[in-house]
Amino acid sequence: MEIGIIGLPKAGKTTIFNAVTKGNASIAGWSDRPNVGVAKVPDERLNILSDMYKPQKIVPAEITFIDIPPPPSGFGKTRGIGGEYLNALQSTDALMVVIRAFENQSVGHIDETIDPIRDLENMVLEIVFSDLDILNRRVQRIEERFKGAKPQEREKLIKERDLLATIQSNLDIGVPLREQELSPPQIKEISGFGFLSIKPIIVVVNVSENQVPGIAPLEYRLSQQITGENAVWTIICAQLEMDLAQMSEEEEVEFRRDLGAEESSLRKMVRISYSVVDQISFFTVGEDEVRAWQIPRNCVAQKAAAKIHTDLERGFIRAEIIPYEQLIRCGSIPEARKQGVLRQEGKEYVVKDGEIMHILFNI
């Protein structure tokens, strides 16, 4: 899973990147290169399975966070995201939009005043403008192809043009693609165009430590502004979280206890990312390796097998499946087989979160 991080200048985007990835990217000044960091997904089930198997290697699932630099003039002034910045974002699974709510006189705001809802609306418009630019180029290509097209091809081009016209009418009034109630076939038809507003969005509002006690009004405004299954929001004190992320695990736990701080930004972002992108994890176990694998919800067993190796997908015969809770109760795969809770499933079986899976294959 890849999450692209964007935001207006001086919103604390890179600070949040460091907090989530335990990185040390520079937060001073402008950079023209993205910061890329990998966060290991904390999962207590993986730890317990490792205690059971004592493997040589433990491999958690991972989320890659890409901190995208804004254009030199800054987002909010460009009327769209283009060039290398657009290319970097198009490959991601979701967008994390960092919004500034903290006051700091030494760190000026490009619009001079602090207004999180205004900044959020500006960033949404940047994303929408980018999609309109992509859409207009696509319509132009349709018109060019239409002149020399055969009747059957013309019919297909007209259908695509009509769909794009509907999408454009909604984008023109600021409705992102993820809120346009497109059918699965329509989504599939535009999936290769590189639209940004169809991606799930995570809005992260960056506050200062002294704002936390009075955060309720901001939470209410965000709940009214951000709705839908593919859009979520959270509030984080990025500077505090980055400082805590640089500590050892023991020190961080102690400081969080003293501060009364809730779950770490890493755990929060992993939980939110899994939810908004609709991902789950399954496990493979053995003395050589205990590993978590990340797949889309409702993924069938044969496709899940491809995450392990493409040969397993090609030669798939069946999968041996056991829920995590049942394996822990039984204590081992042989005992689970003896008790009849180790199931044999075919290629169309829908894998559930936390299941342990062993693939039988032949190529």
Q: What is the DSSP string of 61-79?
A: -EEEEEEPPPPTT-TTSSS
Does the pLDDT of residue 180 top 80, yes or no? yes
Rounded (5°) CA angle 337-324-363: 65
Domain covering 298-361 in this structure, CATH number: 3.10.20.30
Distance separating alpha carbons of residues 46 and 291, to the nearest angstrom: 7
Q: What is the pLDDT of residue 326?
A: 96
| pLDDT tier for residue 283 given thresholds of 50, 70 and 90 | very high
H-helix or E-strand spanning residue 176: none
Q: What is the pLDDT of residue 76?
A: 56
Q: What is the pLDDT of residue 247?
A: 86
| pLDDT tier for residue 349 given thresholds of 50, 70 and 90 | very high
Q: What is the pLDDT of residue 300?
A: 97
| pLDDT tier for residue 79 given thresholds of 50, 70 and 90 | low
Fold: same for 2-41+62-114+200-277 and 298-361: no
Average pLDDT (241-245) is 88
Does the pLDDT of residue 19 top 70, yes or no? yes
Q: 186 or 155: which carries more pLDDT confidence?
A: 186
Does the pLDDT of residue 73 top 60, yes or no? no
Domain covering 2-41+62-114+200-277 in this structure, CATH number: 3.40.50.300
- pTM of the shown model: 0.87
62-66, 106-110, 174-178, 215-219, range with the lowest pLDDT: 106-110
What percent of the chain lies above the pLDDT cut of 70?
96
| pLDDT tier for residue 345 given thresholds of 50, 70 and 90 | very high
Q: What is the pLDDT of residue 289?
A: 95
Does the pLDDT of residue 263 top 80, yes or no? no
Domain positions in the chain are 2-41+62-114+200-277, 130-190, 298-361
The answer to whether 170 and 180 have CB atoms below 8 angstroms apart is yes
Q: What is the pLDDT of residue 136?
A: 92
Q: What is the pLDDT of residue 277?
A: 92
Does the pLDDT of residue 32 top 80, yes or no? no
Q: What is the pLDDT of residue 75?
A: 59
278-297 b/e (C-beta count within 10 Å ≥ 16 → b): ebbbbbbbeeeebbbbbbee
| pLDDT tier for residue 77 given thresholds of 50, 70 and 90 | low
Average pLDDT (355-360) is 96
Distance separating alpha carbons of residues 361 and 363, to the nearest angstrom: 7
Average pLDDT (273-278) is 91
Does the pLDDT of residue 295 top 60, yes or no? yes
The answer to whether 23 and 65 have CB atoms below 8 angstroms apart is no
H-helix or E-strand spanning residue 278: none
Q: What is the pLDDT of residue 71?
A: 64
Does the pLDDT of residue 84 top 80, yes or no? no
Average pLDDT (305-309) is 95
Mean of pLDDT over the chain: 89
Beta bridge partners of 173: none
Average pLDDT (38-43) is 91
Q: What is the pLDDT of residue 134?
A: 92
Q: Please give the sequence-ordered ranges of beta strands (E in DSSP) within 43-150, or none if there are none.
A: 57-59, 62-67, 94-100
